[in-house]
Amino acid sequence: MNMDQLKRQAAARALEEVRDGMQLGLGTGSTAKHFVELLGERVAAGLKVIGVPTSETTRLDAERCGVKLTTLDEIDHLDLTVDGADEIDPEFNLIKGGGGALLREKIVAAASDRMIVIADDSKWVPTLGKFPLPVEVIPFGLGATRRAIETAFAECGVSGQMAVRKAKDGHVFVTDGGHWIVDAQLGSIVDPPALAKALSAIPGVVEHGLFIGLASSAVLAGGEGIRVIE
Ligand code: 5RP
């Protein structure tokens, strides 16, 4: 089974948690896209749900699949968010934002009663940090923001190269919120909650890809089948 089939399997398992009438957060990325497509099939068969997309890409996918959408201004909570991740550790700390949607993903996850992470099992790691940590920043004053990020890294016992993310066309990648992303190659993050707190305190940092205390379970698909970790 190839990676894409594994991702679809994880999405299909998470779909089993969806009930009629649920208000859902819809994640972003290739794994979350499988979930949206499978959800669309259930909707076509009569399931009644409403979703909040975490990116413009997911909004378009959900519309194409016939999933009814709303916003967090129109409803006051979500029952369940299903989203992918770039890394998941045994405490359910996550690195997210490989697809650049971390800000909306975190807002949606934080508004949800539960968050299920769906992934192929290569994303399950003992320690976060091999995947570059995305930090969403305001372009204004970026030099000062980068220096403050370096200080936060040093205080939290990590260091590494930082680079402003580029889009495929070579231009700076701009998020749905109009911000930039700095990707930091840290290798190993010894204390993810401490680093999350330090980054959140920096003016100029809009959000970062460390998701702490948000995920409630993980569905991991691998060669030996599906693992649900709670
Ligand atoms: C987007 C994300 C994605 O969930 C993450 O990058 C995983 O993507 P994929 O399912 O394509 O591996 O955080 O911002």
From residue 192, give the alpha-carbon distance in Å to each of 12, 21, 210, 220: 30, 35, 7, 21
From residue 181, give the alpha-carbon distance in Å to each of 8, 19, 60, 133, 194: 28, 36, 22, 10, 20
Counting from 1 in the atom list of ligand 1, the atom nearest the Cα of 102 is 14
Nearby residues of 50 by Cβ (< 8 Å), 6 or more positions away: 22, 23, 24, 68, 69, 70, 75
Find the residues whose C-beta lies inside 6 A of ligand 1. 27-32, 83-86, 96-102, 105
> How big is the chain, counted in residues?
230
pLDDT of residue 220: 97
pLDDT band at 126 (very low <50, low <70, confident <90, very high): very high
| 105 in active site | yes
Across the chain, mean pLDDT equals 97
Per-residue pLDDT tens over the stretch 170-214: 999 999 999 999 999 999 999 999 999 999 999 999 999 999 999
Counting from 1 in the atom list of ligand 1, the atom nearest the Cα of 123 is 12
Q: Which of 5, 86, 121 to mutate to test the pocket of ligand 1 (most atoms within 8 A of CB)?
A: 86
Per-residue pLDDT tens over the stretch 83-110: 999 999 999 999 999 999 999 999 999 9
Distance from Cα 219 to the centre of ligand 1, integer Å: 14
pTM of the model: 0.97
Q: Which of 4, 5, 7, 31 to mutate to test the pocket of ligand 1 (most atoms within 8 A of CB)?
A: 31
Q: Which protein residue's CA is at the shortest distance from atom 10 of ligand 1?
A: 31
Check pLDDT > 90 for residue 24: yes
pLDDT band at 73 (very low <50, low <70, confident <90, very high): very high
Nearby residues of 194 by Cβ (< 8 Å), 6 or more positions away: 156
